[in-house]
Structure 1
Amino acid sequence: MMKVFQPSTALFIASWAVIGYIQAVTLEVKEGNSTCIKAELSALISITYSTSNSTGTGRVSLPDSTSVNATRSSCGTDGGSPWLVAVFGFGHELGMSFSTNDRVYSVTNLTLQYNLSDSSLFPEANSSDVVTVTSAAVGISAPINTTYRCQSPSTITLGGATVTFSDMRLEAYMPGNQLSPTESLCVADQNSTTTPATPTTTMTTTTKPPAPAPPGTPEQGSYSVKDSNGTVCLLAKMGLQLNVSYVPESQNKTVQELVNLTPNLTLSSGSCGTSSATLTLTQEQTTSLSFSFTMNSTSNKYHLSGINLLANWSNMAVPFSANNTNLDYLRSTVGRSYMCNTEQTLVVAQSFSLNTFKLQVQPFGVTTNQFAAAEECQMDQDQMLIPIIVGAALAGLVLIVLIAYLIGRKRSHAGYQTI
């Protein structure tokens, strides 16, 4: 039986120095004599599993005996997605699927399949299932005809497992059989001051522009949507920060940029329905950010189900687009608003996430143009709980001291007798 899990909480991985040497492997997907996908990389895999008493952690690096599963791997010429599926050990597999928009290619999904009946890796496991976990938040992309390179360790979480890549050079949709000498560096390598262990040919420029300063905390904006009768049906207050990875027109590599929405330059529009509502924010005709909310009449709950971003900034080689309609954020009860003053990160796609600040939103049941009573997010509740716990602890300490003082005073009086 195969169990499929979705990405969840990340696991801690020990430092590379403690784990020891992680060897590199070379993997190729071919069609005839032509190579379409090639990867040179090291990978450390850490898996948490259940035992009869508690839990255990199996750790394994890709061995040099790792090979490509030719049956399950594909160049995508049959109309499907290109796949690289590597097999190793006792029935374990590591797979990557790819996609492209004709300018940039990216790893769409990372999939790990592991066999719990492998007693050498999972001693005392209370199951012998073959488990498959997957993640769409991979963050690996590069321009076409360019090699993606990331020497720095990069950890990806898949359900109860993590995969940490290092010394990675990878290319998909290859025009030839060798990795391109033109390389696109990952963000970690761009920020690293260390010298690569192996010299490589890269595109260089005579001057390197300074990195833009972080934009800081965005200003909170107030937005609303009216129905066909002119009545406000959706309210939102929030500071928004876009975290986008894209290829600038002046560079041949992916960069990551934080951009704040400016409320006084942003217009709001949208629509309200019985079970769905949308809010679209447009800034200076260069950025369009849409939120889709869905209501479940059975549970009387609503949530943020979709986010869509369209951006055409002046330094972009091509307009940027990201969309996800399978989200489950900002969950609350109909007739109440959702509030979260603490910064949140809403992951939309591997190339786009949204940071929210001082957020309050109500897409259903708005009356008198005001927010209803708020249901606070767990992070806000935790922050409120800390001073309560500290105050209770201090009160308890004062009480203990007072009781000790009274007991001591009573004992001192008991030492005197009336004559």
Structure 2
Amino acid sequence: MSLAVSYRLLTPLLLLGFVQVILTKRFVVKEASKICLLAEFSANFSVSFETTAKKQATVLFPLPEDAKESPKSNCSSMIAPLLVVSFGDGHSLSMNFSRSNVSYKMEELTLVLNMSNSALFPNSSKVGLFNMSRPLDISAKLNTTYTCKSDSTIYMENVNVTLNKVQWEVLPPADGFSKTKTECHADVTPSVPPTTPVTTLAPTTATPVIQNPTRGRYNVTNNNVTCLLAEMGLQINITQMTGNKIATKVFNIYPNLTHASGNCSKDHAFLQLTDKWTTLIFQFVVNATFNNFYLKGISISSSLVPSQGKGFQAENISLHYLQTSLGKSYMCQAEQVLQVTPNFSINAFELRVQPFKVENSKYGIAEECQMDKDDMLIPIIVGAALAGLVLIVLIAYLIGRKRSHAGYQTI
């Protein structure tokens, strides 16, 4: 089965899970007759590239049926297994594992794409092999199977790899996977979400108000170095038509139930917040011309809001929020509404974020939002007005007193 052009889309919908994973493959890495790595998963790929016409294009495709273990796969004496999955016309997906006496981990994912494959990458300005790697730290205990039924998206430059229905184990038993499991974070959160109101409203009725969200602290780390810092309380607002009425769902993101992940490069940074029901992705970019950064994209996928028989999904990658100078952090204590689409917005509370040039895991100097500046300006104006009023009264009193004394002359 070839990687058909029919998978091509104009936007990276894979971030939201629009592409259904259709194939789960099992891969075995052996040394002699001993299995050092057993892996089973499905994968979707989203690849953005520039065409010869200087336009941006994005293709999406799943791991195809012809995917198989490459001869480059090896056990490296059972200490550092390497799985290389080859597929299509010269493409490959590699996973580097390592193990200790008590645990094992997948520590690097590498994707090699043949950009000369015109059927998959038509009119690509790049040709030849394109190699991308991402350090990871996906750990599990020895003698357990690492499992993750939820989608896990790994971000690299211009490429996103989403793994699904993952099972893998270093040094598995002879009859297959161990029955004892190490589950990923996304699979072990509580199965029932915290109660939040769902209200059906007339078209002109205001959105229901719930308690302000708890402020969470999130960060993204690349190669053991923190590259993104964020603190914020997040409240989601989703509005949909139900018959002739508007159904509005308002719910908070709970930091204690949320896992933060993502990736940073020189000019792009992704923050993904995931709990059992909702995935939020924030995309920050650098504007090199003005030496600043801004929030360019927000996407959401949530099972808390049914939509046409599936969860609610929305995305906008043409935003321009939170603009701040590089090396500094954006801060806004006031509630800020980030309108993403006509029916999806985020209320952000006590927000502070810095996605680039983070030094020593600390925020740079904060640049305050205009709302905070206005909040500070109002008391200054009121104070100045009161001071002016007091001064006017004092001057009037002194003038009145002087005139009063002038009415009496010494005889």
What is the TM-score with the length of structure 2 in the denominator?
A: 0.48
